[in-house]
Chains A and B, each alone.
Chain A
């Protein structure tokens, strides 16, 4: 059989190609069998049914799939599921605690920082890291910090307002 690359088709039809991956997602431990080519975002969406993490492109440009892996915001389309073995992951579904919205979620609502909502989970996960790195960002730093996440609806205006409201300076005043 020829593939588009003119190579033998080596795609699996047997379980021997599967790998076992253990990840802790939103404080729950999962062990999953995946193909070696499975991306982390597919493991989250397809195997764990955590569909809040979205796929907006195929070149790691849009950031819709951003999750937290061991304390870093990572585009989960850039990580193979097998590479995430043993890691601890937080997705948008794990952000609210005891039914209370995370402050970033609440600010998105208050400042109308979302329209279609598709980029929102990735945006929020990235902003969470942005504020960890720099608890008091100015507008320029916020905009720079959001460059890896595309929003097509809001023009970023209200997203920037929402983050500004969470900056340490704004919270104190």
Chain B
């Protein structure tokens, strides 16, 4: 018999259960945790972008008040292994990265030495007493310059500073170019960003009496951290317990392996006391990885009617001084596979070079590759519309992958399958909410009065929940694509879910419980969610790539379904009927069409533990664990629109309206889903208008070295985000859910850039790179006016 329930938590805008601790100041972030006898680590970081270390003198630091230990890279050599990336694209040349630099530094911020002292202040005081003699070397920060002949070389085993060359494509671009009416080229930059979680990173490593070590890390991937620390520091996994308590934002910045995550466990073991490290914001700008940092050369071949026949892309991905955890996968698989976006571009030829430079390592940041890939597709289609003077909406329609085409393999390539979508539907909904036609009239009318308004449109798609495991092996991604869940029902019928996913503000304690509550048909109040503790949670891959609902949630769905199946068998024994006659409805096991008194879930749970009437072959207990390995990935999509006004005298962009129509499949909790869109869009607006990491090109100094110099959006800078949803369920998982977290940061940058370019079109400006800061826009207008006068 089937299982049905009247109550449905999925789709309800439930308020979050985790809010109360946070609004009361009772959240527990790592720096809130103290241990008796705890010592503090401070790290000396390289002030040079590229230099030979001649000498490190620790004597004064060792003699300073409160100092217990001071170490240089040479002291640590051979004691902690080199840092090995977790994703290595086949053919990649991997430079060696010691946890603390030994004889050479390659970016401003690289660890050079450390002190351990009784207070944080004393540890920092002592760091100031370490005397290092450097011999500066020529530094290179620009990816384009780094691959030129004669450029400074960072690593002996990485000639020309290129670690990886990756090619992807399909069809025949050359033929497309021959058949095209027009070919245009475009060079675009995807600006280097700082993820800027409000909680910086912090580590606390606590040695336990039994010889084990508990390490608190603000980790998006606690089980991965356990493996990486075990492999690199040489502590067996079973002796390591990773706890990720409340995390103040992640956005990809907290899912990689950093030197401090190795140093604290090592020091705690060495000294036998709890060791804490906390990253100041300015330190974070040079010690936590950056995002994006690409340049792309694009060639687009298209017909007079706006149909794109082919596209050629060359990417240079700047990954900083060493290959961070996933770095070789970002500018390659994650970007170029998605360069054709939502459009049927059947002839595609793309190549990516992954380039090392004397800068902070670059790795995943909210969308990792999809914002970069989506930006390629969107800037290309916008350039086509601009070139042909066609409506930007019409050109998109002409090239869209159609609803009937799904599942769709772009450019007939081997790797990418978009599972579902209805781009026209999203576009129509966005146009209606935005009042597109009326806005065009208004824009045109205002232009005649010297008011420069612009309309921007962008469509996007994505692939979430990297899987299946078998495929990840082929692309060199050294982890699986599965997620693990355990549903443990106690003898009173309460359920605890142990999930390998990891919330960093996403609200999993609410959303994952909603999924389980529907399957188990019990009130959500009787479900608890446990995450972020490798001793409690059996296994997991954590949260990234918008995978927690599609993979983590599906895993819980499958696991809870097994619980119901087993409970049904137990109920059959209790009711003395055949299992196939039992139905589970509204939280009761009964036999429809009979007068047999139904049994509550709680009664069946109790019997599972008593075992008195279990059917033959049924084991006691009501506790299941699942490793769910999806067979495909889910593809959210959407269309965003923005209306902006540019002040030509100041270059300031005022965003008057922003409409987001997103199709993330089934929504578990629309309130939390909209929250993800709001936040993602505003981060994307930040990239489009203000945010940029700035380096001195001559000496590699980091100029945007604090929040004074790196401009994240403030409340007054951004508009309300009108978030609407279309629901096209994913066919790749049992709940039809797709990713939500990264959609906003993929869609917003091109949406805003197109709107600004539209506003600037009366000046004849057709291209500007992000961030479109007031000085950049103002200068472009001045140059355009000067050019017009000549």
Q: Which residues of A contact B (CB under 8 A)?
A: 1-5, 9, 11-13, 35, 37, 45, 49-59, 61-62, 64, 91-93, 95-96, 101, 105, 108-110, 112, 114-121, 124, 139, 142-144, 146-147, 149-160
- 9 cross-chain CB contacts under 8 A: A50-B25, A115-B506, A115-B675, A117-B246, A118-B29, A153-B679, A156-B682, A156-B715, A157-B675
The yes or no answer to B376 lying at the interface (CB within 8 A) is no
- A91 to B26 Cα, complex, angstroms: 12
Set of chain A residues within 8 Å of B198, measured between Cβ atoms? 54, 56, 62, 64, 116, 118-119, 150-153
Given A61-B708, A153-B679, A160-B720, is A117 in contact with B121 using a C-beta cutoff of 8 Å? no
Set of chain B residues within 8 Å of A139, measured between Cβ atoms? 720
The yes or no answer to B565 lying at the interface (CB within 8 A) is no
The yes or no answer to B718 lying at the interface (CB within 8 A) is yes
Set of chain A residues within 8 Å of B122, measured between Cβ atoms? 11
Residue of B with least CB distance to A122? B198
The yes or no answer to B16 lying at the interface (CB within 8 A) is yes
Set of chain B residues within 8 Å of A55, measured between Cβ atoms? 31
A150 touches B706 (CB 8 A): no
A93-B25, A153-B675 known, 13 other contacts, Cβ within 8 Å: A11-B122, A35-B121, A59-B282, A95-B24, A112-B671, A114-B19, A116-B199, A116-B504, A117-B23, A143-B716, A150-B712, A156-B713, A156-B715
Residue of A with least CB distance to B712? A150
A159 touches B715 (CB 8 A): yes
Residue among B22, B27, B28, B715 facing the most chain A CB atoms (10 A cut-off): B715
The yes or no answer to B619 lying at the interface (CB within 8 A) is no
Given A11-B125, A51-B25, A92-B25, is A147 in contact with B714 using a C-beta cutoff of 8 Å? yes
The yes or no answer to B683 lying at the interface (CB within 8 A) is yes
Residue among B21, B27, B66, B682 facing the most chain A CB atoms (10 A cut-off): B27
Q: What is the minimal beta-carbon distance from B40 to any residue of chain A, in angstroms?
A: 11
B707 touches A62 (CB 8 A): yes
Main secondary structure of the interface of B (DSSP, over half): loop
Bitwise, B171-200 to A at CB < 8 A (1) or not (0) is: 000000000000000000000000011111
Bitwise, B274-287 to A at CB < 8 A (1) or not (0) is: 00000011100000
The yes or no answer to B65 lying at the interface (CB within 8 A) is yes
Query: Among B247-255, B534-542, B620-628, which stretch is in contact with chain A?
Result: B247-255
- A93 to B251 Cα, complex, angstroms: 28
Q: What is the minimal beta-carbon distance from B374 to any residue of chain A, in angstroms?
A: 19
B715 touches A146 (CB 8 A): yes
Residue of B with least CB distance to A13? B65
Set of chain A residues within 8 Å of B199, measured between Cβ atoms? 54, 56, 116, 118
Q: Which residues of B contact A (CB under 8 A)?
A: 15-16, 18-29, 31-32, 34, 60, 63-66, 121-122, 125, 128-129, 131, 196-200, 246-249, 251, 280-282, 504-507, 671-672, 674-675, 678-683, 706-708, 712-716, 718, 720-721, 744
Q: Which of A56, A146, A153 contacts B281 (CB 8 A)?
A: A56
B248 touches A117 (CB 8 A): yes
A109 touches B20 (CB 8 A): yes
- A115 to B503 Cα, complex, angstroms: 10
Residue among B26, B198, B507 facing the most chain A CB atoms (10 A cut-off): B198
Residue of B with least CB distance to A50? B25
Q: What is the minimal beta-carbon distance from A106 to any residue of chain B, in angstroms?
A: 8
Residue of B with least CB distance to A159? B715
Set of chain B residues within 8 Å of A11, measured between Cβ atoms? 64-65, 122, 125
Q: What is the minimal beta-carbon distance from B512 to any residue of chain A, in angstroms?
A: 15
B19 touches A108 (CB 8 A): yes
Q: What is the minimal beta-carbon distance from A15 to any residue of chain B, in angstroms?
A: 12
Set of chain B residues within 8 Å of A157, measured between Cβ atoms? 675, 678, 682, 720-721
Residue among A35, A51, A114, A118 facing the most chain B CB atoms (10 A cut-off): A118
Set of chain A residues within 8 Å of B34, measured between Cβ atoms? 49
6 closest A-B pairs (Cβ-Cβ)? A52-B25, A116-B505, A117-B22, A118-B248, A155-B682, A92-B25
Residue of A with least CB distance to B33? A51
Set of chain B residues within 8 Å of A51, measured between Cβ atoms? 25, 28-29, 31-32
Given A11-B122, A115-B505, is A155 in contact with B24 using a C-beta cutoff of 8 Å? no
A117 touches B720 (CB 8 A): no
A109 touches B706 (CB 8 A): no
Set of chain A residues within 8 Å of B706, measured between Cβ atoms? 57-59, 61
A114 touches B22 (CB 8 A): yes
Set of chain A residues within 8 Å of B679, measured between Cβ atoms? 115, 152-155
Q: Which of B16, B280, B675 contacts A154 (CB 8 A)?
A: B675
